[in-house]
């Protein structure tokens, strides 16, 4: 993991380039870009990322602290919030480490901002001093609650990724046949698992998931090449989806 991410300022925001994220996450630029394109509707421009092209890109080349390839005609810059979302979805060990590092930096900055505010003990007016003291307590409590919430989320999600690590591809996905192998239930192979998912109204007759399960982040559909008919759509599971199906099998079997 690269612990020395160079954060630059753009439009008053602290930002990182896609190349930096790829290096920090132990992924390639194509994987990071593919991840973004797949989830593009969930990212908000200006909040999670900036797209630089034309005049803006020329200005950034002239003034930025990061070297860019001369033939690049567009550039995504990621806010730290956008970088956190990337790290969560890439599912590599380095991405998780970087995610934790960015969280630590976030809370460090928040604490510094609070310390820069005039502390309550320096306020002469007793009413204003009391108000500021209450604000200080609330700010610190909110930071602690956020820290605990994020830490718990890391602990909750990471075992799911590690559990299926040997079956995950570069995008953090696994096919349904691999899940059947991982579950290792006697008489419950790939074909039986497809039949089960159709009976449960999770997969349609064409083996693609119903939209409501896609929306819950359990599946992704990718176009894969074939030797006969070009490309076909294939269903893949996320670690969250694999856990959901494993739990469902256990419940229906009991």
Structural domains of the chain sorted by starting position, each given as residue range(s) with its CATH number in brackets: 8-116 (3.10.260), 167-253 (no CATH)
pLDDT of residue 15 exceeding 80, the answer is yes
Kindly provide the b/e burial profile for residues 226-242, where b requires at least 16 CB atoms within 10 angstroms of the residue's own CB: eeeeeeeebbbbbbebb
Phi-psi region of 46 (alpha: psi -120 to 50; beta: other; left: phi over 0): left
pLDDT of residue 164 exceeding 80, the answer is no
- Please indicate whether residue 94 or residue 51 has the higher confidence score (pLDDT): 51
Among residues of the chain, what percentage have pLDDT more than 70? 70
pLDDT of residue 162 exceeding 50, the answer is yes
Name the pLDDT band for 105 (thresholds 50, 70, 90): low
How far is 154 from 252, CA to CA, in rounded Å?
29
pLDDT of residue 2 exceeding 50, the answer is no
Give the mean model confidence (pLDDT) for residues 10-15: 74
- Please indicate whether residue 199 or residue 139 has the higher confidence score (pLDDT): 199
Name the pLDDT band for 1 (thresholds 50, 70, 90): very low
Closest by CA to 169, choosing from 254, 120, 242, is: 242
Query: Which residues are 14's β-sheet partners?
Result: 9
Name the pLDDT band for 202 (thresholds 50, 70, 90): very high
- 21, 32 Cβ separation under 8 angstroms: yes
For residue 10, give both structure tokens: 């753009």
Give the mean model confidence (pLDDT) for residues 89-111: 64
Give the mean model confidence (pLDDT) for residues 10-25: 78
pLDDT of residue 110 exceeding 80, the answer is no
């Amino acid at each position: 993991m690269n612990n020395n991410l160079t954060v630059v300022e753009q439009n008053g925001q602290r930002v990182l380039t896609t190349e930096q994220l790829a290096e920090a996450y132990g992924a390639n630029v194509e994987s990071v870009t593919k991840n973004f394109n797949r989830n593009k509707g969930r990212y908000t421009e200006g909040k999670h990322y900036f797209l630089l092209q034309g005049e803006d890109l020329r200005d950034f080349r002239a003034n930025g602290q990061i070297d860019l390839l001369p033939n690049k005609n567009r550039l995504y810059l990621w806010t730290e919030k956008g970088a956190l979302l990337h790290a969560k979805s890439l599912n590599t060990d380095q991405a998780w480490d970087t995610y934790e590092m960015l969280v630590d930096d976030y809370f460090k900055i928040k604490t510094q901002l609070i310390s820069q505010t005039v502390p309550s003990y320096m306020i002469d007016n007793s009413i204003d001093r009391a108000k500021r003291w209450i604000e200080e307590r609330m700010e610190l409590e909110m930071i602690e609650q956020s820290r605990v919430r994020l830490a718990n989320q890391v602990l909750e999600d990471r075992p799911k990724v590690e559990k299926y690590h040997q079956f995950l591809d570069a995008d953090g996905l696994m096919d349904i046949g691999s899940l059947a192998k991982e579950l290792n239930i006697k008489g419950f192979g790939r074909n039986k698992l497809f039949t089960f998912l159709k009976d449960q109204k999770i997969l349609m007759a064409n083996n693609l998931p119903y939209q409501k399960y896609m929306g819950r982040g359990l599946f992704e559909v990718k176009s894969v090449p074939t030797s006969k008919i070009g490309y076909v759509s294939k269903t893949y599971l996320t670690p969250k989806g694999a856990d959901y199906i494993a739990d469902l099998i256990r419940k229906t079997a009991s």
